[in-house]
Amino acid sequence: MNRQVAAGLQIFFIGRVVALAVLVAAAHLRAQEPIPQPRTSGGCPVESRAFYECAMAQAKTFKVPRTAEGRPDFQGFWRSRNNGIAYDVEPGPGSFSVPPTAGEIIDPADKKIPYQPWAVAKRNELRTKGFEDPQGHCAPSGAPRKNNTLFGWRIIQPKGYVTFLYESMHDYRIIPTDGRKHLPASIKTWHGDPVGHWEGDTLVVDYTNLNGKHWFDMSGNFQSENIHVVERYTMFTPDTILFVATIEDSTLYTRPWTLAFSLERNKEPGYYQLEYACHEGERDLQHFTDDTRQVGR
Amino acid sequence: MKSAGRRLRPPLLSAAAFAAALLAAQVSADQAAPQTPARPAAPARTATPARYAPPRLANGKPDLQGIWQVRNTANWNLQAHGGSYKTPAGLGVVVDPPDGSIPYRPEALVIKQKNWTGREAEDPLEKCYLAGVPRTMYLPYPLQILQTETEVAILSEYVHTWRWIPLTPLDRYPGYESWMGDPRGRWDGDTLVVETVGHNDQTWFDHAGNFHSDALTVIERLTRTAADVITYEATMTDPKVFTRPWTIRMPLYLHRDMDRILENECYIYAEEAGKPIRGQHPNE
């Protein structure tokens, strides 16, 4: 990315907390811009369920490139199909700063998060307080949202690890692939504890120890510290990975649910991973005051 | 950001040769900071530690992978200093100039003194900002080194930041300016040499206010000198601030008690504690 783009996006994200009318108006205008939506990814339709079925079918016959260790070689630059803005994991008509979305959920079939009744009410309340989205405060994005952040990431595969180096907030995931034990449950983190293993040619990453403060998107869909996320990465063309995340939390949801989207190799000519210093460049959160918190009440 | 990024290409003199040439003429920099007592007779520091055969990758290059951390007080003050409130004492890590002082230009020393006075508020780490290079390497937080044959990644617990160091040729991005700099690596025998440019002028070397400009070049040398030790060295060149290059050296120790690093989300912790750190809007 370049710095001007980064600055603009920063204002875009944080803009939702800003009391200054002019900035709110700017953010609102940006939200109305159409998001480019290619109809296919890796030769598959992008509608989440159809994409999942198609990519799984293609993966059965795809000859995956391999590292010296004999594992699928995911190394290089990747980004999610949207180039990383998680507006709403559910399908929706759009709202302030969120454009209409097709949703990412493949299970349940209605593409809705199977919230318990009290939890859906809380989500609806959070949805009116977009300025409290932790990512808008430069907090780490957690799992699975980190794979839906701007500018994508570099994957490197040192022996025994798959490691993601994200441009967004210079964040990283160090994923050991030895299936080691998780951290003690008493340790709660913004990043979670990713432990990976290979199932055939699929990288499976098991996430626990998340602190439950994350949102899945900009629409108030939320987590608790009991969340358990299993991510699965399956390459099905040289330039496309099927990303699937299954989310379990019996304190919030009536059943596990699953989302899926495409990760595409970033082949943009001249792309150079720059530094996205979110907190250091932050110039809007001083407007996030007790008064701001009254908005929407 | 105050100024456009600047790429500085210093002459590729070895630091030692440069130092030798300047030694005779060197004017001892004034180290008037009250925390800097006259340097005591420091323990001998050997530039070439005893030969050790490190583990190696398949391509024969030394394997530096593991979780590492310093065991010193460089983060508080690179120079020798006695203990004070919230600051542990330390013998200093500046090995060149030999007297252990940082060779400031006179006008820069004035800024250093101002930084020292205001350090409790103005140290970038007090605002949870990125620590920059080399300070990230000697923070009181562990870091993990991961490696392939073509790259080295250094991942710090402190505000979840990484350094990605290519060992293969890669054109510099024009005008790159950042908190963590733009590094390039190569092997010099069994030593990983990392040259980093593209720094902004916002980071400090330590809590004592030692600072640099955007003309800074840092050349780091990492050598696995024992099973549990990487000897870490960094040479700073910045003609806007220093009269000559200067060098720090210290051991990084292997954590045998950790199989993964955790996290330190400094600015989020501050917000959660009701002490949010807010940037200043340029128009306010």
Q: Which of A137, A279, A286 sits opposite B128 (nearest CB)?
A: A279
pLDDT for residue A12 is more than 80? no
Q: For chain B, say whether A180 makes contact (Cβ under 8 Å).
A: yes
Least trusted range by pLDDT, from A76-85, A265-274, B131-140: A76-85
What DSSP state is assigned to residue A177?
A: S
d(CA B112, CA B108): 6
- Interface probe with A: pick from B133, B263, B275, most Cβ of A within 10 Å: B263
Q: For chain A, say whether B161 makes contact (Cβ under 8 Å).
A: yes
Q: What is the predicted ipTM? A: 0.87
Q: Which of B148, B173, B262 sits opposite A189 (nearest CB)?
A: B262
- Interface probe with B: pick from A275, A284, A289, A292, most Cβ of B within 10 Å: A275
What is the rounded average pLDDT of the residues A260-282? 92
Residue B108 token pair:
């820069």
d(CA B217, CA B199): 8
Give A144-172 pLDDT, tens digit per residue: 999 998 889 999 999 999 999 999 999 99
d(CA A183, CA B14): 45
DSSP string over B130-183:
---TTGGGGSSS-EEEEE-SSEEEEEETBTTEEEEEESS--PPPTT--BSS-EE
**Whether B197 contacts B7, CB under 8 Å:** yes
The pLDDT assigned to A293 comes to 55
3-class SS of residue B93: coil
Whether A156 sits inside 8 A of B153 (CB atoms) is: yes
The pLDDT assigned to A284 comes to 75
Question: How far, CA to CA in Å, does A57 sit from each of A53, A133, B203?
Answer: 6, 36, 51
The pLDDT assigned to A95 comes to 76
Residue B217 corresponds to which amino acid? Answer: T
**Whether A249 contacts A159, CB under 8 Å:** no
Higher pLDDT pick, B100 / A27: B100
**Whether B274 contacts B250, CB under 8 Å:** no
Q: Which residues of chain A does B259 touch, with a Cβ-Cβ cutoff of 8 Å?
A: 176, 180
Q: Which residues of chain A does B271 touch, with a Cβ-Cβ cutoff of 8 Å?
A: 137
Q: For chain A, say whether B159 makes contact (Cβ under 8 Å).
A: yes
- Interface probe with B: pick from A3, A177, A280, most Cβ of B within 10 Å: A280
Higher pLDDT pick, A187 / B5: A187
Whether A172 sits inside 8 A of B162 (CB atoms) is: yes
Task: With CA atoms as reference, report the closest residue to B149 among B222, B224, B60.
Answer: B60
The one-digit pLDDT tens for each residue of chain B (284 residues) are 333 333 333 333 344 444 444 443 333 333 344 444 455 555 555 555 558 999 999 999 999 999 999 999 999 999 999 999 989 999 999 999 999 999 999 999 999 999 999 999 999 999 999 999 999 999 999 999 999 999 999 999 999 999 999 999 999 998 999 999 999 999 999 999 999 999 999 999 999 999 999 999 999 999 999 999 999 999 999 999 999 999 999 999 999 999 999 999 999 999 999 888 877 655 55
The pLDDT assigned to A175 comes to 98
Cβ-based neighbour number of residue A37 at 10 Å? 10
Higher pLDDT pick, B154 / A87: B154
Residue A228 corresponds to which amino acid? Answer: H
3-class SS of residue B75: coil
Higher pLDDT pick, A267 / A37: A267
What is the rounded average pLDDT of the residues A254-279? 94
The pLDDT assigned to B43 comes to 52
Q: Which residues of chain B does A277 touch, with a Cβ-Cβ cutoff of 8 Å?
A: 129-130, 178-179
The pLDDT assigned to B209 comes to 98
What is the rounded average pLDDT of the residues A10-14? 43
